[in-house]
């Protein structure tokens, strides 16, 4: 039983669900950021697996996964600086307490 | 032959297990700094999968950007926020509300079920035939070391617009981060 595209896609779906689970249960904003990173990685695996199995000559999926990495780095930088700002103002990084921001 | 096939698929299963276990460990570890370092295991496992998929450059970028850069930045930010007094609160809050965990489990397993159903129901062989992957993969051995130049070629020809937009985005992020983390925003 060799490893096929279906194996990689199923693995990435599993990793995506684990990231979603972490996103939904964690109340600390840092853990939410880490879960989002895991979900982005799961999508990246899809890109690279499609590039390997369906498009082995012109590896477009690999180029796209590099773009996703750049977006993820930007997202983490902005997210962390926002979290530090919120922490400085209210000494608390609980997701539930962010609800007051909307007023 | 069966045995050989099983052996050759072993690295995939080992790396996949490492990634999943480390991701779960990150979610369930009450200590935030340790959770951040557990994330490195996930990223290293995924980098190994990229090596298996012949994507050497993406694997190295994964290790450099994710496993070192992003994890380090997150862990430093956690340390800056000095959540020491909050550490025991987090332990409670992760496991306290049963309804929340049940809801999250329901949603994520539903997503996984739908995704795996869609994956199973596709005829990937036909799609591979449509894109001509089988014909191409016989040529891959010839150009196996040309992936990197292929990626560079794509980025400066077909994907030149997203490539340039990414650099603008990174500049905006640089300025925005400095602006946000300044002590006094006037």
pLDDT given for residue B174 in this prediction: 93
pLDDT given for residue A44 in this prediction: 93
Q: What is the spatial distance between Cα B69 and Cα B157, in angstroms, rounded to a whole number? A: 28
Q: Which tokens go with A38?
A: 């895991």
A window 35-74, beta carbon within 8 A of B? 35, 37-38, 41, 44-45, 48-49, 51-60, 62-63, 65-67, 69-74
The residue extents of the domains of chain B are: 1-84, 86-121, 134-186
CB within 8 Å of B119: residues ≥ 6 apart: A6, A9, A10, A13
Evaluate if residue B85 carries a pLDDT over 60: no
Cβ contact (<8 Å) for A66 and B136?
no
Give B150's contacts in chain A (Cβ within 8 Å).
Answer: 58-59
**Backbone dihedral angles phi then psi of residue A5, each to the nearest 5 degrees:** -60, -35
CA A103 to chain B, closest CA, distance in angstroms equals 20
Residue labelled with tokens 């949603």: B107
Instruction: Label residue A4 by pLDDT band (50, 70, 90).
Output: confident
Question: pLDDT tens digits for B91-128?
Answer: 555 555 788 888 889 999 999 999 999 998 888 888 87
Cβ contact (<8 Å) for B177 and A78?
yes
Q: What is the mean pLDDT of chain A?
A: 85
Cα Dmax for chain A: 57
**More confident call, B181 vs B115:** B115
**More confident call, B15 vs B134:** B15
Cβ contact (<8 Å) for B66 and A76?
no
Q: What is the spatial distance between Cα A88 and Cα B3, in angstroms, rounded to a whole number? A: 59
Q: What is the mean pLDDT of chain B?
A: 82
Determine the average pLDDT of the residues in A18-30. Answer: 88
- Helix and strand tally (H, E) in chain A? 3, 0
Contact assessment for residue A74 and residue A30, using Cβ atoms and an 8 Å cutoff:
no
Question: pLDDT tens digits for A44-84?
Answer: 999 999 988 887 777 888 889 999 999 999 999 999 988 88
pLDDT given for residue B135 in this prediction: 64
Evaluate if residue B176 carries a pLDDT over 80: yes
The CATH class of the B1-84 domain is mainly alpha
Please report how many Cα atoms fall inside a 13 Å half-sphere around the Cα of residue B125, on the Cβ side. 0
pLDDT given for residue A91 in this prediction: 63
> Percentage of chain B surpassing pLDDT 90?
38
CATH number of the domain bearing residue A59: 1.10.287.3510
Evaluate if residue A18 carries a pLDDT over 90: yes
The tally of domains found in chain A comes to: 1
Cβ contact (<8 Å) for B124 and A7?
no
Residue A11 domain boundaries: 5-102
For residue B157, CA distances in Å to A52, B61, B118, B143, B164 come to 21, 21, 33, 19, 11
Give B93's contacts in chain A (Cβ within 8 Å).
Answer: 27-28, 94
Evaluate if residue B55 carries a pLDDT over 80: yes
């Amino acid at each position: 039983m060799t490893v096929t595209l279906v194996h990689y896609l199923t693995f990435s779906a599993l990793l995506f669900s684990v990231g979603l689970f972490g996103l939904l249960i964690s109340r600390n904003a840092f853990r939410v950021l880490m879960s989002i990173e895991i979900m982005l990685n799961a999508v990246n695996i899809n890109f690279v697996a499609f590039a390997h199995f369906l498009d082995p000559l012109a590896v477009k999926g690999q180029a796209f996964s590099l773009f996703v990495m750049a977006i993820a780095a930007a997202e983490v930088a902005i997210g962390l600086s926002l979290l530090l700002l919120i922490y400085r103002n209210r000494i608390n990084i609980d997701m539930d307490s962010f609800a007051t921001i909307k007023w | 032959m069966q045995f050989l096939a099983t052996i050759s698929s072993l690295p995939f299963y080992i790396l996949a297990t490492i990634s999943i276990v480390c991701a779960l460990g990150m979610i369930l570890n009450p200590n935030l700094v340790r959770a951040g370092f557990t994330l490195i295991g996930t990223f290293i496992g995924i980098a190994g999968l990229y090596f298996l998929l012949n994507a050497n450059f993406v694997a190295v970028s994964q290790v450099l950007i994710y496993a070192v850069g992003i994890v380090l930045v997150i862990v430093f930010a956690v340390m800056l926020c000095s959540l020491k007094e909050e550490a025991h609160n987090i332990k409670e809050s992760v496991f306290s509300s049963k309804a929340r965990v049940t809801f999250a489990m329901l949603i994520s397993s539903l997503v996984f079920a739908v995704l795996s159903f869609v994956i199973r129901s596709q005829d990937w062989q036909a799609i591979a035939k449509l894109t001509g992957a089988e014909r191409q993969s016989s040529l891959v051995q010839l150009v196996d070391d040309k992936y990197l130049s292929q990626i560079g070629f794509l980025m400066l020809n077909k994907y030149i617009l997203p490539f340039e937009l990414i650099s603008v985005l990174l500049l905006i992020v640089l300025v925005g981060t400095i602006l946000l983390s300044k002590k006094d925003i006037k």
